[in-house]
Structure 1
Amino acid sequence: MAPTVSARTDPAVGQAEAPEDPSPGDGTPEAYVERALDILQQYHMNRQDIDWDAVRRATKVLSAHAGTTGETHAALRAAVVAMGDNHGYLFIPQPRQQARAPSGEGGNAAAPAMPEGEPLDGDIGYLMLPPLMTVGGNEDVGEQYRERLVGILQNLDSSAKCGWVVDLRQNGGGNMWPMLNGLDPLLGPGPFGYFVGVEGRAAWVRGETEISSGTGSEIDTGEPQYALANGDAPVAILFGPRTSSTGEMVAIALTGREHSRSFGAKSANYTTAVRPFELSDGAILGVTSSKVAYRDGTMIEGALVPEVAVDGDALEPALAWLGSECTGN
């Protein structure tokens, strides 16, 4: 999505690891505001329904006395709110902390959360996927996250004869691609979902080297990046009100896979794609650029609803379902 960033201001949903930089020459406050508004008008999914003259007038009034680009940020945040979605943002990266942890304290306490996993009774592999922030100087974290997830799946493979639990209940957002690429052998055949905007739809599929939405194809043109003996075993997907943005995208990608079922409660309702653009002062403008569809093409409007609604801990009914699916294997 490291700095404190909420799910709503997650800078990397559905995007490559680095934000786009459409125009580095916007150093004055006036030009900076114009360029940011141009980006919003060109890429926002609601662009055909917005009164752009009114938005531009209001933003220019709010930023009229700005002496620096930083003094326009409040006005631009108001413009983002005026877009009418709940997912766009203006993110201001903070300087990276170079200081090392004091001797004897065991490393960097601010290290990003990584996936976790363990074998559960009944020949089940359990995976927990936390949020993942990869902008603001943290681009290398995405590869670390993917590698950790691959290693966990490989280590749990022999213990997952009856299936997998993918726990997204604490996944508040970030960059979806390391998550999907790490889960690759569990996803089944693509497409795993779609971004749908004014310019058409982009499928989430396997290319020759990775899963992305940039292949231009709606069928897989590559193979899974690695194999699992139990990659086709049933998958239980756990999500709830703290599952947001990229967490929702991973749930969407697993939904519709053969032998999958979701458990929990409604998600946080950030089921849109945000496209990040880097401005001249390093700020990142996240533009809600498209809606999302399931792998069967069904458009998603609002929060995700689990197939099995659960009051309380969703893990227990998920394990019961996996056990029933395993009977006779």
Structure 2
Amino acid sequence: MIRNIVLSAIFFSIYPLAHAQIAADVKLFIERSFEFIDSNTINTQNIDSIKNWLYTNSANSNSVDDVAPLYTEVFKRLNDHHGNLQYKDKTYGWKVPLKNANAYIKKRLTEEKSVMSMVLKGEYGYLRIPGNTDYAFKKVDSIASDIVDHINKINSPNIKGWIIDLRCNTGGNMYPMMLGLKDFIGDEVVFGGFQNAKGKPTGKWEIVSGNMLIDGIYLQRTSHLNRSIPSTVPLAILTSSYTASAGEMTAISLIGRPHTIVIGETTANYITAVQGFKINVNAAINLSTDYVVDRNKKVYTNSIVPDREVVGGDNFDEMLKDEKINMALNILEKKEFYDN
């Protein structure tokens, strides 16, 4: 017992000395950032030890300029590769290498910037929806309406099923993508949402009387379908290792609807909701604060794993030679898929 008391006394005498060596503005910056981390991160383990590590490695630092790069390691220790520190126009975060980097899709990311639509085999509608950069929420209606316009171009009584291709969807703003696909998602349905690390719901995605609400916010679009699409129409969702963030959430908005299957590669695992918090005039910290939940209450703490895995084999130039598309068509053509 005496030994424990002595050791504790030594520990607590050293800890303040380490803090005392840090400049006041650096200490304030660390304390402010960890107030946000403590209150909001979904990765709640080892926060005190991470903070102590940062203090130890910030000893003798005279400026926040010296400390900011250390937040790369902070995010690694938080196991948060979706968040980051924004400081003086620089970003400090931790990125996880993709499990299966798809060279073909990586190359096409620079080319696939617009929605693409066509009819395959005369009976199957195909939509390729890339990511977007509408972080300021200024193009929600125009992006959603563009998706609707493409649906209208190919929708007809002959269409028996649909393929929604999210292989080049690296994220952006999920709102317009979900809004454009609203008719596929369904009606009178809670089709997803968020929950925090304690399992408490923090947001809800729903469609009520034809209106989409995300976290209680009504989303409206000015364009409409010329021909309705049953919410039970068979649907294949295509994913790649580059399907990320809002692209993953768009896929989740459709997962669990009737006659729906995910085909392709395990997604990039940027599936958390991220919120930003202002530290000072020069800095903000972005944290993964919530997990995504689908309509069946499944919580996604990791990537989306496809129902049918197809790695590689992508071919946007000759669509009927694309292995993921061929898998989708083979499934959509089976009567039992419609009957399930």
Name the TM-score, length of structure 2 as normaliser.
0.69
In structure 2, the gaps of 5 or more residues are 1-24, 91-109, 314-322
Aligned to 1:319: 329
Is 1:176–1:246's contact at 8 Å kept on the other side of the alignment?
yes
CA distance in 1 between counterparts of 2:62 and 2:181 reads: 47
Aligned to 1:229: 227
- Structure 1 residue 65 displacement after superposition: 5.7
- Structure 1 residue 200 displacement after superposition: 0.9
CA distance in 2 between counterparts of 1:260 and 1:161 reads: 16
Closer/same/farther in 2, CA of residues 242 and 71 from structure 1, 3 Å limit: same
Q: 1:39 aligns with which of 36, 44, 49?
A: 36
CA distance in 1 between counterparts of 2:64 and 2:226 reads: 51
Aligned to 1:102: none
Is 1:236–1:260's contact at 8 Å kept on the other side of the alignment?
yes
% same residue: 25
For residue 134 of structure 1, give the secondary structure of its aligned residue in structure 2.
coil
Aligned to 1:193: 192
Is 2:41–2:289's contact at 8 Å kept on the other side of the alignment?
yes
Aligned to 2:206: 205
For residue 80 of structure 1, give the secondary structure of its aligned residue in structure 2.
helix
CA distance in 2 between counterparts of 1:314 and 1:251 reads: 16
Superposition map of 1:1-329 within 5 A: 29-47=26-44, 49-52=45-48, 54-63=49-58, 69-91=64-86, 113-135=113-135, 139-158=137-156, 161-189=159-187, 190-197=189-196, 198=198, 200-201=200-201, 202-206=203-207, 211-215=212-216, 226-227=224-225, 229-232=227-230, 233-281=233-281, 283-311=283-311, 312=313, 313-325=323-335
- Between the two proteins, the alignment pairs up a number of residues equal to 280
- Structure 1 residue 51 displacement after superposition: 3.4
For residue 334 of structure 2, give the secondary structure of its aligned residue in structure 1.
helix
- Structure 1 residue 306 displacement after superposition: 1.6
Name the TM-score, length of structure 1 as normaliser.
0.71
Closer/same/farther in 2, CA of residues 287 and 62 from structure 1, 3 Å limit: same
Closer/same/farther in 2, CA of residues 283 and 116 from structure 1, 3 Å limit: farther
Q: Deviations over 1:104-143 (max 9, x none)?
A: xxxxxx99933222233323221112122334xx543444
Closer/same/farther in 2, CA of residues 111 and 322 from structure 1, 3 Å limit: closer
Is 1:181–1:211's contact at 8 Å kept on the other side of the alignment?
yes
- Structure 1 residue 263 displacement after superposition: 1.2
Structure with greater Cα Rg? 2
Closer/same/farther in 2, CA of residues 209 and 254 from structure 1, 3 Å limit: closer
Is 1:122–1:323's contact at 8 Å kept on the other side of the alignment?
no
Is 2:206–2:212's contact at 8 Å kept on the other side of the alignment?
yes
Q: Which amino acid aligns with 1:35?
A: R
Q: Deviations over 1:16-57 (max 9, x none)?
A: xxxxxxxxxxxx55433322221111111122x3332x3223
Closer/same/farther in 2, CA of residues 191 and 55 from structure 1, 3 Å limit: same
Q: Deviations over 1:173-212 (max 9, x none)?
A: 2221121112111111321223121261132113689645
CA distance in 1 between counterparts of 2:165 and 2:296 reads: 23
Q: Which amino acid aligns with 1:46?
A: N
